[in-house]
Amino acid sequence: MIKARFPYTLVVIFICLLSSVSVFAQSKKQQELENRRQELRNEIEQINSMLFKNKSKEKSQLSLIQDLNHKINVRSNLIKVTNQQANLLTREIGVNQREITQLREDLENLKKDYAQMIVHSYKSRSEQSRVMFLLSSSNFQQAYKRLQYITQYTTYQKEQAASIKIKTEDLKVANANLLKQKADKQELIKDNSIAQGQLELERRQQRTLMASIQKDLKTYSSQIKQKQQEANKIDREIEKLIREAIAKSNKKAGKSTTAKGFALTPEAKSLAASFVANKGKLPWPVQKGVVTLRYGNQPHPIVKSATIHSNGVRIATSPGAEVRAVFNGEVYAIIVQKKGNPTVLVQHGNYFTAYKNLSKVYVKKGDKVVTSQAIGQVFTNSSTGDTTLSFSIFKESTTQNPSLWLYKM
């Protein structure tokens, strides 16, 4: 009787192990989705705070529609992630329900077996019957095997009692988890319903603004072109300064001034190596912010015929926000152009970081700066209420994608 149950026990253990692995994988995925959902919710809060709160009525329709588009994209992603969570919970609930059914069946079988053992034990409860069972053996080997059987049977009886207790507790935990999962799913459905309503409202606003913009598309195209020219001008100035820095380093090292790369000192090499080692882990240049323009060439979200060329990222932040150095380095230049706001250029070996559109500058050329040190303040446009920092990274004079360098951009 006992030996026959060992294979069954092994099968049950194997199934439980597979189930545990599956549940662990699902729980990990659920946590990843929840983390992403919270990130998106926080981003929407920052968008509301930095792009839509206390904004001037003079804010251009072009800026409004760009901000609204960004908000719609983030909210759409939030709805998508929440749906993924709800669907995963549905699958987890199904798994749990099947597990509970199996636990109930196992518990019922254990109780039946245990009841039969109790009856059998009661019938053969006297010590005399056990002794007679041993003495009636035909030889010593048979008596030894019968003694082993009695010992195993008693042990198995105790194990069955313990198994019943464990299964009962497992069933309680599974039921509690199931109730929590169902409550979590209802909460997700409720959140998504609210988000869907907000998304529809924002899309109606978007359609209204788009209809207004279409009436005067030429004017908006001209504004976009002018902004691109201003951005290109400061980028050309930065690239010129970097080329000059490369030439100076090579001249100082006794090399050709036409060489494309830096002739770095051992100290500068070490700094550059540390900068590279921290790729993906650098702090943001502002404490809080929302990326409103990403790196690279991209079609304008409103005027499809226009192309945006971005050598860095544009980050909307709060009025009065301070700009922070993203890594140790030396201030190579403070760039001030006519009809433009200051730019701070910081050197990190053969890498440079540029912080554009500042209202105040706390450092001067030649100053040593450390990671997260405040180097200035972001400019706030009094007419529109926008507070936006443009940030770029260069290796020599080649632009880099800041989202690959800054932490979780």
| Residue 362's CATH number | 2.70.70.10
409 within a domain of the structure (yes/no):
no
Same-domain pairing of 21 and 170: yes
Query: Quick check: pTM over 0.85?
Result: no
Element (H, E) at 304: none
Q: How many residues does the chain have?
A: 409
- Looking at the structure of the chain, the number of domains it has is 2
Residue 276: exposure state from Cβ atoms within 10 A (0-12, 13-18, ≥19): middle
- What digits encode the pLDDT tens for the residues 309-319? 899 999 999 99
Same-domain pairing of 142 and 229: no
Same-domain pairing of 136 and 234: no
Pairing, β 388-395 against β 313-316:
antiparallel
355 within a domain of the structure (yes/no):
yes
Which of 156, 183, 214 terminates a domain? The answer is: 214
Same-domain pairing of 203 and 231: no
Smallest Cα–Cα separation from 99: which of 26, 183, 160, 29?
A: 26
Same-domain pairing of 193 and 258: no
Same-domain pairing of 123 and 196: yes
Segments of the chain scoring below 50 in pLDDT: 1-8, 12, 126-128
Same-domain pairing of 262 and 206: no
Same-domain pairing of 265 and 292: yes
Which of 214, 229, 264 terminates a domain? The answer is: 214
Which of 162, 187, 214 terminates a domain? The answer is: 214
Same-domain pairing of 60 and 202: yes
Same-domain pairing of 47 and 104: yes
Q: Which two tokens stand for residue 61?
A: 């329709």
User: What is the radius of gyration, based on Cα positions, of the chain?
Assistant: 35
The angle at the Cα of 136, spanning 134 to 139, to the nearest 5 degrees, equals: 85
Same-domain pairing of 297 and 180: no
The angle at the Cα of 371, spanning 368 to 372, to the nearest 5 degrees, equals: 115
Which structural domain range is residue 97 located in? Answer: 2-214
How confident is the model at residue 26, as a pLDDT?
A: 65
Same-domain pairing of 141 and 248: no
Buried b (16+ CB within 10 A) or exposed e, 115-146: eebeeeeeeeeeeeeeeeeeeeeeeeeeeeeb
